[in-house]
Amino acid sequence: MQFKEGALFNEFKCDLAPSLTYSVFTLKRLLFAGSLTLLSEFPYVQAILNCLVMLGFAVFLIAVRLYKDGVTQVVCIVVEIGVSLMFGLVIYFLQQGWRDWDQELEITVLCLSYAAMGVHWS
């Protein structure tokens, strides 16, 4: 069986995109790991940083338009924005005082996560 050289990067539309994308993706994961380990004593800071990282990656996907296939591009952007919304909504559960919307927000977060998984797997 022969493999085409560069088959790993065939989904991208330019030569710069693979190295740039994997570098930014790795940076995103490192920021999440650092946030989880170093900011556990500061849950609001951790949650806001995680939201900003997700939104930053979504903006990166929108600005750079990495993928050859338009459907793949749209799916990745929709999933990133959906996960960013989930991260933002979860901040509500950190506070202790005003808890009138627990069930509604929990259902919303669950539905968003199921929708993101469904869109991503389609």
Residues in the chain, overall count? 122
What's the whole-model pTM score? Answer: 0.76
Interatomic CA distance for residues 10 and 109, integer angstroms: 34
pLDDT at 2 over 70: no
Interatomic CA distance for residues 24 and 30, integer angstroms: 10
Contacts of 67 by beta carbon, 8 Å cutoff, 6+ apart: 11, 12, 13, 73, 76
Q: CA triplet 75, 78, 84: central angle to 5 degrees?
A: 140
- Please indicate whether residue 12 or residue 100 has the higher confidence score (pLDDT): 100
Q: What is the pLDDT of residues 95-105, one digit of tens each?
A: 888 888 899 99
Q: Which has the minimum average pLDDT: 3-17, 27-41, 67-81, 87-101?
A: 3-17
Instruction: Give the residue extent of every domain in the chain.
Output: 14-121
Sign (positive/negative) of CA torsion 70, 59, 78, 30?
Answer: positive
